[in-house]
Structure 1
Amino acid sequence: MIWTADMDARLRELYPANTNREITAITGWSYYYICERAKVLDLHKGPDARSRACGKTQWTPEMDMFIRQNYERLDNRQIADALGLKLSVTRTRLYELGMKRMQLEYWTEDQVKFLVENYRQIGDLELAEIFESKWPKAKRWTKKHIEKKRRYLKLKRTTAERDAIREGHRQRGVYAEANRRMWQTRGAAKEGEIRYWRKRGGISVFPVIKVDGRWLHWAPWRWEQLRGPVQKGMNVIFADRNPYNRADDNLLLISNAELAKRNSVKSIIGLSDNYVAGILTSGRPDQREIVKQMPDLIELKRNQLLLQRELKEQLK
């Protein structure tokens, strides 16, 4: 590209107030040639053009006025959305205008000294409570404040020191109180409330009831309410196998042997993977889990058992 005197004059006119891409759009000249010619002519951008070139937001008096008028009414996100800007850009401008929603409160020498002298004997949560009483601030002291300052100052406790702090907490009943507060926040179950729990590793559920602060199996508890204590070796079950049917006449008292037989019949009828694997590994229970990982073998044996069952029924 050959630059003429008229082109140089035009470039000198446009360069200070426009970005190179804007000049390209105005003149149709190559972006690369504009950059190179500006170096030859020793041209420099004005502050506004430099800001636009690097993507910096150009704040106008109207935008600042909008912020001042709506600072108390809108939060930072809403102001940013209204101006079509990023939240970080809006927050930075608020700081520049002296509009801070939160005033930082820094550690004093006395606070640091107290922490250094006592962190080995007092836990972080207890330290936070002491700080709140001695040096209250707008944003309350928390355990996290103490932890962060300790890490910054590299104040580490030994295992023995941590154990001593925990033992002190236990003796003062701190953990018991923490549990009480936790359940107050979460919402502890009321006396007599009934819930359904799931057996570990299974899909079946069973009802439990809260009595005197403990969770008890609902079926035997209800039986005792109706007919007295359940004798050793006896079990209270749901006659229709439906744990959601808590009608009194659906409760059935059976012995351990009857329960085992009932469960065995259920397994045989269903031919579950566990039942089939048990047959395949008879006398070798340690191999049952391995066999259960072989679905093709399980299915083959299940089909054999079903066929044998059909033949037996036909021969009757």
Structure 2
Amino acid sequence: MKKTKIKYTPQQLEFLRTGYLSMNIRGLTTAFNKKFGSQKTEGQVKSTLKNHSIRCGRKPKDRLITRWRLFTEDQARFIRENYGGRSIAELTVLFNDRFGASRTWQQIKTFVNNRGITSGRTGHFAKGHTSWNSGTKGQGLTTANKRSFKKGTIPPNRNPLGTERICSKDGFILIKIAEKNPYTGFPTRYKHKHVYIWEQANGPAPKGMVVAFIDGDKTRCELDNLMLISRAELLNLNRYGYKDMPAELKPSVLALSKLQVKTWAKEKKL
């Protein structure tokens, strides 16, 4: 079924054209219906304005003033004229005193932000600004902090060597040792405890090898529970879910994993 086109008289269009200069869509619709005894919706009025290329002539930020229910035009003008050189808190107090209102700091802030109103303050020192303590050197206005750390002072909360903690990333035990930290240059660092214990007995692990737990328990860092395996073997054990297997199966799975890695290495050479 074809829709019936709503027609407007020249008088009605002129009313819309004139009224839209000072009213928003809602206010214009109400005024139009009251003037002509009609029942037009906001959507119909908006479509008519668009179809007849009727513009309000206001900038987007200025249009908000007519929609803002908390502030009248006089109040908006007051804010624009008095924000310069003041903070939001100061402006809020001044506004409420002037109009006997109870606007909050946040409401005033939102209003000025939405409309791009600035106070003109930058927060920077102006060129040529003189510091309050300029020229006071040697007059004893300031003294050194008597509680400052002195050379050689050890903070009371410094952890001693041998302190242990659980790593939040991988769950391994870390121990504090007297070894230079390669990242910070500090003379002490935290290191995986199982690696440290292995290195104390056997020296650093060769390239491509890692220290792993025979029973899969990260908290048992005794030397008899540690083994040196290749990264390929470790990867294969993880695929099998080695650490969660029953204890009686682990020796067989470990032997099988090593055999598979050796077989793959030989096949790769062929």
Q: TM-score, normalised by structure 1?
A: 0.27
Q: TM-score, normalised by structure 2?
A: 0.32
Q: Which is helix-richer, 1 or 2?
A: 1
